[in-house]
Structure 1
């Protein structure tokens, strides 16, 4: 269920000076090495860029053999370590995230001693580590509870491959998100898929995982969502080949085309330096637990503990730009006639003009006391920035860490270069000796309109191609996930899966004062079935935004916008085949159907989104039928479109123009197309031969007539009746 956040207690609140301050992050994790274990790191082992390669593994040298610990609670999956038969790698999938707002998908430990886990193909008989102790007790306890003789505890029981039982091309998700299926023949029950005949153990934070001799590597992989994309051209895959590497680098040479090399560079934004991860604990009352039960909490203590990393004083800058790509991915941020697109430095008076994405789209800043940036802008009224991670300096005005309008854009005069935003300053943690502590800053920024050129053949044979320029609208950058496959699998039968894109988006909501409210959201896609009558049903697809944070301008005479945070985890929902289980958004939201006559004298049904308390919606929804959605899949596949999203083309020349129905209802009508990247990385728009129209009269709910018209008008949408319980996802 969503969590109601009162308008006065959103993600930030004013301090005594009236400045916006972020609440404490309260990061809490366990240090991966034993207390007192010395370690060092050279340039070859550090996280980050080195020419055309980017090292994702932070590899440290140990003095002899050291104990290795789980950073947080999670499931553990063991894999071979390259070709070294004496080593293994461990992949930890967090169950409890150690930092609020930082979604970690995997933590990969590389180079643990195999002898601490296995004796041949069996789990070690003597528990010399906490990990083996935990799994042996659970394994033995299960069979004792069932009254069955305890069988030999093999490596396969916890997913470790034997022989060629697993392929290096298998995705890691396939093992963590597996659904086991068994078949029984006589008195024998076996797993249908032998590769999935295992259970991955859940291990507490701070468990002695194993030991490493000489060196150990750590990768932190950030979470983008539990789904796969068909025909993904990115050469990098989160597969077992990645999991098994002795250490891992992203190599642009693995891209066969310029676009593949670009996607390989983009992948660097999926990884985080473990030194910066621990350095983040100096912000917001963090705690780093140690093996001797001590807890590091001060900047001095944490900085001292990570001092062995070569990057112990490095700050990383991540900037997400348009369409959830890195800053300037589409080249729209460059100054006219050049490649520069950022001013960056330690003070506003000492900024260098640079190209942000030169080399790799993760900026590394060593021993910098403060971070000041200015980004390029065309000064459009929707230009905005959201600080997802980082601490804004008191000199940078903001609205709950949203920066827009006069806080972002400069006024002309006095030699001011309005091609750039105002200086944005970030405070960095420093020790008493004024040494910067490793950390990272994550921004979402949309400061320049993305322009797309669409070319169509002339009206007659031999006529020149007609080029049409479009500006990317806010609504065109929201609804993706069109051709993804969820990795959270359905068990079959009466169960639907839904999938969520974890990458945040900046979107606008028009308010009644004539201005705009601004929010960060994730997006969800879910399929459902609605009954047309007692015997016929209709499959549908719903795309929905899920609120992460919002900043609104509320006057005394206008309703406030809802600030209900949504659940943002992929999963499944069960339904019954005895009742009409169509999809609705979670309470307190509800949908209402409205019928009217459109501009073509056609009777049309649309849906509007409401809240039980009467506040204004902070959610946007697109609803089309499964058949309508399926028209776009061949287009995406045939054109090999990457990162596709729905493009809304207003049928009127003015993209902001509306129709008025015979009933005097004002509405908009859009024809859906797909916008995405072709194999050269250029944005293109393609439309199906059979047009799909969606309607809206509240500017937040966009539905096709076929999707909306079967919604029961007699249903009490403000609650859940006893005879028709809706799946709430």
Structure 2
């Protein structure tokens, strides 16, 4: 039965100490195949790595009905060269597993005859999908009092003629804004965007399959495109239309492009592991006969014909949101080994995590224990994004750091590795491991970057300078991306969010560090200087996902306010200065002070309306300043760029003190990215871009701060005044 589900949030399950407890996942979805029909899978159809290729499509032999896994929009496309089949791309509206962001679910090989009669939608509703869209289509025209036109395939986005290109991104269709063209006084929609993608309830009979079906689950990294992206793989219509999809390193014509293709494997999730996750945190899988699967035995029995039904997948995100050891910084000295892994702490194998592909597949493993390499720096930390820690592994709300992570010298401990981290894997009553995946964010070794600058005289050798990657250098990216969520008009701003989590630190008054996971957001807007002049600017900010604090009874606590992390648009009025500002309860406040040379500066600090310590970091610069960095990225052909903050006083802990007694730091903004060989490099603009900070939370340029509208904790409405 189709199910429309209201959106919700994670429940909480605190213990008496508020430690070591994870909110229930509450996964809830519909099984995509009709119950009772025969399912089989060949080795050639199973998800995962096979030499230099990685199969993202899990393919099974099956004949019967197919259902929508969750509520979402559906986009139909051809299926390879087979004119009797179609593919369906489902974009979730309600995520079936809280905390697991799915971008698309791709069904490959549905019978075309269940959807279309020639170029028209079927006139008789033989599936729930056709029934839903026909009722909506006829209902709309009846409501408008207009004769119902022929319901063509193009009305729901299916290609007609050459109006779609295989190079078009799938996002262009889900996030499209229809545009009207006027020709000879007649207004018509652009053919490419003259359609509406239907919203379909969970559990809707989508179509039927005869012989076999493939399914891909694509994880969400954000709704944006990257300028000059060198990755040969793109989520485009070529991918959407494939009858069967694999990532093939052979299409990369350089070693770095092959590496990027391998990295792409972390964007996909096995369907068996997806359903296996329902054994964690009170999950429910609805079936076509109205039964509901909840126990490990019930769920395993339903997925057991998938050859990966007992496979645990290990995903580890390392520095700069790349996979573990992407930059080679995790290897033991003189070796390619970088992980100890096995079923128990006394039975670990020394291995190379990323050998082949950066997704570790562990078949029928009864439990999981691992140790990762570390240099024992005081910021080393791990966050368990997905997975269940065993009770023997000490943690702070699934953050692992300090004495919980690092080993003490002595007693034969190999301090090149973390302590053993143990995960519990769900099993059936017959002791069979149920498929799942463990996803970690880990930063345990300092990343070192070497920058080369020309010698002082022509012909002199280049001067090499080594830098350590600081926490702030791994935060603000999105510099050269374009949001796919489009604004509808002049009075609307589109903003973009990177959905990949980051580990960051906040300095606490106990001289210890609070640790948090965040996503990042970028907004481009403008500030009115006066009635006629404006200043285009760019604001980057972190959005809190989770935080673990070091709080004593005599110190202020840091806000645990969770931010909205969905891309979208913001409406505004051009009649007054109410352009983008931080969401309540955060606000920025300016303060004038005298610099070291006596020049007046405008400092910017971040505050909370309720007086607690902010759990956010902000970078504010003008559009011109941002464009200098974007030009540098383009000129140097840098990939995965982020802002690099170089302290003008060289030593990171050093700061200036104004004549008013205000302490501040001044940074020279550069860009850190991967060159065309994948090597990390720092590039500095010819014309310096400076930002200052008073609180190590808000980093703003002078021009950004000078024109910042006045706000305060009582009234956060901006005032259209220049700050003098």
TM-score of Structure 1 vs Structure 2, range by shorter chain: over 0.9
Aligned to 1:432: 429
Displacement of 1:132: 0.3
What aligned pairs does 1:279-294 form with structure 2 within 5 A after superposition?
279-294=276-291
Aligned to 1:38: 38
Displacement of 1:700: 0.4
1:179 partnered with 2:177: yes
User: Does structure 1 conserve the Cα–Cα contact (< 8 Å) formed by 2:380 and 2:402?
Assistant: yes
1:95 partnered with 2:96: no
Aligned to 1:340: 337
Aligned to 1:25: 25
| Of 208, 211, 225, the match for 1:211 | 208
What aligned pairs does 1:27-426 form with structure 2 within 5 A after superposition?
27-62=27-62, 65-184=63-182, 188-191=186-189, 193-426=190-423
Give the distance between the partners of 2:569 and 2:698, measured in 1 at CA.
24
User: Does structure 1 conserve the Cα–Cα contact (< 8 Å) formed by 2:709 and 2:719?
Assistant: no
User: Does structure 2 conserve the Cα–Cα contact (< 8 Å) formed by 1:12 and 1:400?
Assistant: no
What aligned pairs does 1:424-503 form with structure 2 within 5 A after superposition?
424-503=421-500
Q: Structure 1, residues 406-447: CA drift from partner, whole Å, max 9, x if none?
A: 000000001110000000000000000000000000000000
Q: Structure 1, residues 489-528: CA drift from partner, whole Å, max 9, x if none?
A: 1112111110000000000000001010000000000011
Give the distance between the partners of 1:718 and 1:61, measured in 2 at CA.
63
User: Does structure 1 conserve the Cα–Cα contact (< 8 Å) formed by 2:578 and 2:718?
Assistant: no
User: Does structure 2 conserve the Cα–Cα contact (< 8 Å) formed by 1:676 and 1:684?
Assistant: yes
**Secondary structure of the structure 2 residue equivalent to 1:631:** helix
TM-aligned CA distance change 1:706 to 1:292, over 3 Å:
same
Aligned to 1:718: 714
Deviates more, 1:587-596 or 1:542-551: 587-596
TM-aligned CA distance change 1:584 to 1:280, over 3 Å:
same
User: Does structure 1 conserve the Cα–Cα contact (< 8 Å) formed by 2:76 and 2:156?
Assistant: yes
User: Does structure 2 conserve the Cα–Cα contact (< 8 Å) formed by 1:19 and 1:394?
Assistant: no
Q: Structure 1, residues 356-410: CA drift from partner, whole Å, max 9, x if none?
A: 0000000000000100000000000000000000000000000000000000000
| Of 667, 671, 675, the match for 1:674 | 671
Displacement of 1:185: 5.5
TM-aligned CA distance change 1:10 to 1:586, over 3 Å:
farther
TM-aligned CA distance change 1:637 to 1:128, over 3 Å:
same
Give the distance between the partners of 1:244 and 1:656, measured in 2 at CA.
53
Displacement of 1:613: 1.1
Deviates more, 1:610-619 or 1:455-464: 455-464
**Secondary structure of the structure 1 residue equivalent to 2:497:** strand
Displacement of 1:460: 1.8
Deviates more, 1:632-641 or 1:308-317: 632-641
Displacement of 1:11: 6.4
Aligned to 1:545: 542
**Secondary structure of the structure 2 residue equivalent to 1:344:** strand
Give the distance between the partners of 1:597 and 1:722, measured in 2 at CA.
25
Q: Structure 1, residues 549-597: CA drift from partner, whole Å, max 9, x if none?
A: 0000100110000000000011111111100123221111111111111
Aligned residues: 714
| Of 516, 522, 529, the match for 2:513 | 516
Displacement of 1:159: 0.4
Displacement of 1:292: 1.0
Displacement of 1:717: 4.8
Aligned to 1:598: 595
User: Does structure 1 conserve the Cα–Cα contact (< 8 Å) formed by 2:608 and 2:713?
Assistant: no
Give the distance between the partners of 1:574 and 1:126, measured in 2 at CA.
42
1:13 partnered with 2:17: no
Give the distance between the partners of 2:184 and 2:655, measured in 1 at CA.
67
**Secondary structure of the structure 2 residue equivalent to 1:14:** coil
Q: Which 5+ residue runs of structure 2 have no aligned equivalent?
A: 1-8
Give the distance between the partners of 1:107 and 1:586, measured in 2 at CA.
32
**Secondary structure of the structure 2 residue equivalent to 1:26:** coil
Q: Structure 1, residues 207-256: CA drift from partner, whole Å, max 9, x if none?
A: 00000111000000000000000110000000000000001000000000
User: Does structure 1 conserve the Cα–Cα contact (< 8 Å) formed by 2:587 and 2:716?
Assistant: no
Q: Structure 1, residues 255-288: CA drift from partner, whole Å, max 9, x if none?
A: 0000000000000000000000000000000000
Give TM-score, length-normalised by structure 2.
Answer: 0.97
Displacement of 1:531: 1.3
Deviates more, 1:572-581 or 1:619-628: 572-581
TM-aligned CA distance change 1:10 to 1:116, over 3 Å:
closer
Give the distance between the partners of 1:477 and 1:260, measured in 2 at CA.
22
User: Does structure 2 conserve the Cα–Cα contact (< 8 Å) formed by 1:92 and 1:107?
Assistant: yes
**Secondary structure of the structure 2 residue equivalent to 1:75:** strand
| Of 647, 651, 666, the match for 1:650 | 647
User: Does structure 2 conserve the Cα–Cα contact (< 8 Å) formed by 1:488 and 1:570?
Assistant: yes
Give the distance between the partners of 2:610 and 2:331, measured in 1 at CA.
46
Give the distance between the partners of 1:37 and 1:143, measured in 2 at CA.
39
Q: Which 5+ residue runs of structure 1 have no aligned equivalent?
A: none
**Secondary structure of the structure 2 residue equivalent to 1:161:** coil
Deviates more, 1:531-540 or 1:493-502: 531-540
User: Does structure 2 conserve the Cα–Cα contact (< 8 Å) formed by 1:75 and 1:202?
Assistant: yes
Give the distance between the partners of 2:12 and 2:246, measured in 1 at CA.
36
Give the distance between the partners of 1:479 and 1:187, measured in 2 at CA.
48
